[in-house]
Amino acid sequence: MRKSVKNRTIYTVLLFICVLGFWFFENFYTPDTYTSPSGQSIQTEMPSFALPSSTTGAIVNHDYYSLSYSETFEQAEWVAYTLEKAHLTYDERKRPYFIEDPKVKSKSADWRNYKRSGYDRGHLCPAGDRRFSEFAYNETFYTSNVSPQNREFNAGVWNKLENKTRQWVKKNGTHFVITGGVLEEGLEEIGDEDVDVPEYYYKIIAKGTAENLKAIAFLMKNRPSSKSVQEFVVTIDEVEKRTGIDFFKELPDKVEDVLESEIQIRNWKF
Q: DSSP labels for 223-255?
A: S---S-GGGGEE-HHHHHHHH----STTS-HHH
Question: Count of domains in the chain?
Answer: 2
The question of whether 175 is a catalytic residue gets the answer no
Report the alpha-carbon distance of residue 209 to residue 248 in Å, rounded: 12
Residue 14 sits in the same domain as residue 103: no
Domain that holds residue 212: 42-267
Selecting among 62, 87, 123, 175, the annotated active-site residue is: 123
Residue 19's pLDDT is what? 46
Is 60 a member of any domain?
yes
As a whole number of Å, the end-to-end CA separation of the chain is: 81
Residue 18 sits in the same domain as residue 79: no
Is 189 a member of any domain?
yes
Residue 16 sits in the same domain as residue 121: no
Residue 238's pLDDT is what? 98
Is 164 a member of any domain?
yes
Residue 7 sits in the same domain as residue 53: no
Residue 6 sits in the same domain as residue 63: no
Residue 77 sits in the same domain as residue 54: yes
CATH number of the domain bearing residue 77 = 3.40.570.10
Residue 190 sits in the same domain as residue 63: yes
Residue 11 sits in the same domain as residue 93: no
Q: What is the pTM of this model?
A: 0.86
Residue 20's pLDDT is what? 47
Is 2 a member of any domain?
yes
Residue 101 sits in the same domain as residue 192: yes
What are the contacts of 236-244 at 24+ separation with CB within 8 A? Answer: 236/204, 236/260, 236/261, 237/261, 239/202, 239/204, 242/182, 242/184, 242/200, 242/202, 243/55, 243/77, 243/78, 243/180, 243/182, 243/183, 243/202, 244/55
Residue 45's pLDDT is what? 79
Residue 128 sits in the same domain as residue 215: yes
Is 69 a member of any domain?
yes
Q: Is the CB of residue 112 less than 8 Å from the CB of residue 191?
A: yes
**Angle at 186 (CA atoms; ends 184, 242), nearest 5 degrees:** 25
Q: Name 78's Cβ contacts closer than 8 Å, sequence gap at least 6.
A: 52, 67, 68, 124, 178, 179, 180, 243, 245
* Cβ count within 10 A of residue 200: 18
Residue 50 sits in the same domain as residue 26: no
Residue 56 sits in the same domain as residue 85: yes
Is 35 a member of any domain?
no
**Which residues of the chain are modeled with pLDDT < 70?**
1-32, 36-44
